[in-house]
């Protein structure tokens, strides 16, 4: 049960990161299109970093999708994902406490930090034991 939930968690978050990453990557080109208006109050340097983050999200999402397909190698991807999600939550909590970032996202930073911490907890809690992560052919041989 936990292994299936873990695979679903990796697959859903991996797909979301892929879609979001491609969207962030594309936003760079959308910003530079003639007569475009930026929905996010940042300049060209900000969109450069947004696109860079999008590339990292695509890679992270691909790793999680691979972990959902082959869970025997997915424990490390889940552990590192949990760490990354805790770091994302921490930066949002600091941004919320500082208050300078309230102008644009409002309460979004606090809400995101809660979601990221819950996802990190899910990665740690649902992570299957190494014995649950045998490749399919080994399970068939033992039957």
Q: Extract long-range pairs of 132-135: CB within 8 Å, 24+ residues apart.
A: 132/2, 132/3, 133/3, 133/71, 133/72, 133/74, 133/75, 134/72, 135/70, 135/72
Whether the CB-CB separation of 59 and 81 falls below 8 Å is answered with no
Residue 131: which pLDDT band, with cuts at 50, 70 and 90?
A: low
What is the pLDDT at residue 102?
67
The pLDDT tens digits of the residues spanning 84-126 come to: 999 999 998 888 888 777 666 677 888 899 999 999 999 999 8
Q: Where are the domains of the chain?
A: 2-128
For the question of whether the overall pTM of this predicted structure is more than 0.95, the answer is no
Angle at CA of residue 135, ends 131 and 137, nearest 5°: 125
Instruction: Please state, rounded to an integer, the average pLDDT across all residues of the chain.
Output: 85
Whether the CB-CB separation of 27 and 47 falls below 8 Å is answered with yes
Other CB atoms within 10 Å distance of the CB of residue 109: 21
State the average pLDDT over residues 11-16: 96
């Amino acid at each position: 049960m936990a292994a299936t939930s873990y695979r679903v968690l990796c697959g859903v978050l991996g797909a979301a990161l892929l879609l979001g990453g491609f969207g962030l990557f594309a936003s760079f080109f959308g910003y530079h299109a003639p007569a475009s208006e930026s929905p996010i109050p940042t300049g060209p340097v900000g969109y450069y970093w947004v696109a860079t983050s999008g590339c990292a999200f695509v890679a992270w999402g691909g790793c999680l999708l691979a972990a959902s397909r082959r869970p025997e190698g997915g424990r490390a991807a889940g552990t590192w994902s949990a760490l990354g999600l805790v770091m994302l939550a921490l930066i949002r909590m600091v941004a919320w406490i500082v208050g300078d970032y309230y102008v644009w996202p409002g309460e979004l930073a606090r809400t995101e930090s809660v979601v990221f911490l819950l996802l990190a907890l899910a990665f740690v809690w649902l992570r299957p034991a190494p014995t649950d992560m045998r490749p399919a052919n080994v399970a068939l041989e033992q039957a």
